[in-house]
Amino acid sequence: MKDLVTAALAAAKERGQDVADVPLTAIAAAAGISRSTLLRRLGGSRTALDEAVRRSGVDPGGRPPVRERAVGAAAALVAERGLAAVTLDAVADRAGCSLPSLHTVFEGRDGLLAAVFEQYGPLPDLEALAADPPERLADTVRAFYDAFAAAFQREPRIVPAVFADLFSRPDGPAARMMAASLPRMFGGLDRLLRPHVEAGRLRPLPLPVLVQLMLGPLITHILLRPVLEPALGAGLPSLEESIDLFADSYLRAVALPGAESGLTGEGSGGREPYPTRGEP
């Protein structure tokens, strides 16, 4: 039975599913036997396999997948107590799963936290925007600001906790969470901004600089709003008004003259687009 448990865990990991959700055909293939042979060894039912998996210390599932339960539990802990409080023990207790299950699915705490940021951070909204971007540069910038602000305010409030940890511990778990998502985030931003650079609407600055100029003021403002609102009251613009001001300031800083007129016929005027990784 031990070899069948090993095969079941390997198939579950490869498919990103609980053992209970993996078809017997896939488990048999991982074990190098036929489905009929597997059933014969199990006595005609997979119940014995699920029990053996459970005895090995892994929850075979049958409820919502371990991944789904663990990501939700970890996100709630981050919002309630901050990143430092998110241990695999605490997540396993809240999610109703075992520690070996978490290690099987996420390969450790960093993998779990990366999955939390991927689900609750700005990446889903950014990729949706990049898949169907507005035509005008100003609309693109405003839509990006709206998406990022929405991620900051989404419950459970993961993004503020991530940035709070990042500023206090630049080499801590928040940095590793973001690093895991950066290739996809920059890929989405590249798809949003490169066409405007190539069309001569945006200055051909390196992509990280274009992004930092866009995000820096907004992140600072949102993180400081809880302190500024009691102090400034009505003197503080609403978040919507602030986003308008930041978008306008960004365009004034990086948009080239005439960027919003004749969007379909402008050339780049000989300018090279911002360099990609590996370019000089």
Confidence of residue 63 (pLDDT cuts 50, 70, 90): low
pLDDT tens, position by position, 231-261: 888 888 899 999 999 999 999 999 998 655 3
104 and 12 within one domain? no
Residues 42 and 70 grouped into a single domain: no
Give domain status of residue 274, yes or no.
Answer: no
Q: What CATH number did the domain enclosing 148 receive?
A: 1.10.357
Instruction: Examine residue 129 and state whether it is found in any structural domain, yes or no.
Output: yes
Q: Do 49 and 17 sit in the same domain of this protein?
A: yes
The pTM for the full model equals 0.65
Share of the chain above pLDDT 70, in %: 91
Residue of 29 and 97 predicted with greater confidence: 29
Q: Are residues 244 and 126 in the same domain?
A: yes
Q: Are residues 131 and 186 in the same domain?
A: yes
Please report whether residue 145 resides in a domain.
Answer: yes
* 154 and 249 within one domain: yes
Residue 153 belongs to some domain of the structure: yes
Confidence of residue 263 (pLDDT cuts 50, 70, 90): very low
133 and 220, same domain (yes or no)? yes
Region of residue 242 (left: phi > 0; alpha: psi -120 to 50; beta: else): alpha
Question: Above 60 in pLDDT, residue 168?
Answer: yes
Q: What is the pLDDT of residue 270?
A: 39
As a dihedral over the C-alpha atoms of residue 128, residue 131, residue 137, residue 140, rounded to 10 degrees, the angle is 0
Tally the domains of the chain. Answer: 3
Is 160 inside any structural domain? yes
Q: 19 with 38, same domain?
A: yes
Tell me, what CATH number does 93's domain have? 1.10.10.60
The pair phi, psi for residue 108, each rounded to 5°, is 115, 180
The model's pLDDT over 180-206, given as tens digits with 9 standing for 90+, comes to 888 888 999 999 999 999 999 999 999
Please give the mean pLDDT across all residues of the chain.
84
* pLDDT class of 172 with cuts at 50, 70, 90: confident
Tokens representing 6? 């090993």
The whole-number pLDDT of residue 278 equals 44
* Residue 124 neighbours by CB under 8 Å, 6+ apart: none
Residue 269 placed within a domain: no
Decide if 110 is inside a domain: yes
Higher per-residue confidence, 208 vs 164: 208
One domain for residues 11 and 127:
no
Question: 128 and 102: one domain?
Answer: no
Question: What pLDDT is attached to residue 174?
Answer: 86
For residue 265, is pLDDT > 60?
no
Domain extent, residue 41, equals: 2-55
Are 126 and 188 spatial neighbours (Cβ–Cβ below 8 Å)? yes
Over range 118-126, report the average pLDDT: 89
For residue 18, name the pLDDT band (cuts at 50, 70, 90). Answer: confident
The Cα–Cα gap between 212 and 219 comes to 10
